[in-house]
Amino acid sequence: AKAAGKDRQELFDPRLRHEQAERIRIVERLRAALDAGEFAVHYQPIVALRSGASVGFEALVRWTPPGQPPVGPDKFIPAAEDSGLIVALGEWVLRQACAEAAPWHRRHGTTIAVNVSPRQLAEPYFADQVRQALTDSGLPANALTIEITEGVLVRSGAHTELVLTHLSELRADGVRVAIDDFGTGYSSLAYLRDLPIDILKIDKSFMPVDPADAQQAALVRAVVDLARSLGLTTVAEGVETAHHAELLRTLGCDRGQGWLFGRPGPPAAASIRLSAESTV
Ligand code: C2E
Ligand code: CA
Ligand code: CA
Ligand code: CA
């Protein structure tokens, strides 16, 4: 009754009504786009800072409406999350990424990281969907990383137990769990305590803007030291300059991802990159 009352109220507020109509329109377009095959997965290399080798890729979804330039995920992931469409879209990305990355893993031993939204993790069949994607693609569990954000426990609400069960089950299979955008949430340290994870991705906002700024560097050092003392693999995001890479190497960060090493690109670009690396 409360929800119906809210709907009725919104019906009489022209501005809210417009916003709601707009949201429904976007979601309908996204659903049609999924059916029409307008989504693609792009891949950004994750590089071992010591050797410079591409040890894996992150899968990043792209939407190209016919006759229009590609739309970035920041524009449509929030609407997909609000509407629940992220569950279908996320499963599509997962299956696509496992299928495209399986031959890279076979030939070059690389891993693939897939972003998973809180809504997906709260689905009862999430772990089964991941296992099915692995079976169908032939990708071994230990070549897959799922990236979750610090908001996962808050936004999964009453489903926290289910989220933790999924993560534990998948880790028991060999899937790695990465905490994404580390340091941008409100209770990062509590998440390190409460979530079963293997990898910590340092958010790109921590990359020093000024190479000479000792405080900015000290903050990165603190995060890397914390992660290492917990036995986690560290990945720095937003590595844009040679100075960033040099600093991270000095601090003992394991891996880097960013424009310095390569922008996200179509699957063919990842293949070409791996072939070029293996012949040098
Ligand atoms: P994210 O998971 O933090 O992904 C990294 C983002 O940083 C990507 O943006 C990437 O293109 C960008 N990036 C990479 N290197 C650099 C750099 O050196 N400097 C800067 N400034 N940016 C860099 P993108 O592709 O626009 O994705 C944005 C966000 O959308 C992602 O952030 C992720 O949260 C979300 N996303 C992308 N694909 C998916 C998906 O399949 N499922 C879900 N649930 N979320 C996704
Ligand atoms: Ca990510
Ligand atoms: Ca991130
Ligand atoms: Ca992000």
Express each pLDDT in 81-100 by its tens digit: 988 999 999 999 999 999 99
- The whole-number pLDDT of residue 150 equals 77
- The whole-number pLDDT of residue 7 equals 53
Residue range 108-118: average pLDDT? 97
Identify the top-confidence range among 57-66, 187-196, 210-219. Answer: 57-66
Query: Residue 165, exposed/middle/buried by CB under 10 A (0-12, 13-18, 19+)?
Result: middle
| Distance in Å from the first CA to the final CA of the chain | 67
**In the predicted structure, residue 203 carries a pLDDT above the cut 70:** yes
72 lines ligand 1 (CB under 6 A): yes
**In the predicted structure, residue 3 carries a pLDDT above the cut 60:** no
**In the predicted structure, residue 9 carries a pLDDT above the cut 80:** no
Q: Which residues are found with C-beta within 5 Å of the ion, ligand 3?
A: 180-181, 237
Give the three-class secondary structure for 67: coil
> Given the DSSP bridges, would you call strands 111-115 and 144-149 parallel, antiparallel or unpaired?
parallel
CA of 193 to the centre of ligand 1 (A): 25
Task: Grade residue 1 by pLDDT with cuts at 50, 70 and 90.
Answer: very low
96 lines ligand 1 (CB under 6 A): no
**In the predicted structure, residue 240 carries a pLDDT above the cut 80:** yes
| Closest CA to ligand 1's atom 15 | 258
Percent of all residues in the chain with a pLDDT value above 70, rounded to a whole number:
93
Kindly report the CA angle at 34 between 121 and 262, in degrees rounded to 5? 75
Residue range 219-237: average pLDDT? 96
CA of 136 to the centre of ligand 1 (A): 26
**CA 181 to ligand 1: nearest atom:** 3
Rounded CA separation 161/151 (Å): 15
Q: Find residue 57's DSSP bridge partners.
A: 45, 112
Ligand positioned closest to the Cα atom of 182: 3
**In the predicted structure, residue 24 carries a pLDDT above the cut 90:** no
Task: Grade residue 120 by pLDDT with cuts at 50, 70 and 90.
Answer: very high
How high does pLDDT run on average in the chain? Answer: 91
pTM over the 0.90 mark: yes
Looking at per-residue pLDDT, the higher value among 134 and 19 belongs to 134
181 lines ligand 1 (CB under 6 A): yes
Which token pair is 91?
Answer: 């499963």
Rounded CA separation 143/61 (Å): 19
Residue range 8-34: average pLDDT? 79
Task: Grade residue 160 by pLDDT with cuts at 50, 70 and 90.
Answer: confident
| 12-21 confidence digits (pLDDT tens) | 677 777 877 8
Kindly report the CA angle at 236 between 230 and 241, in degrees rounded to 5? 150
**In the predicted structure, residue 122 carries a pLDDT above the cut 80:** yes
- The whole-number pLDDT of residue 21 equals 82
CA of 180 to the centre of ligand 1 (A): 10
Give the phi and the psi of residue 176 in degrees, each rounded to 5. Answer: -90, 150
ipTM: 0.97
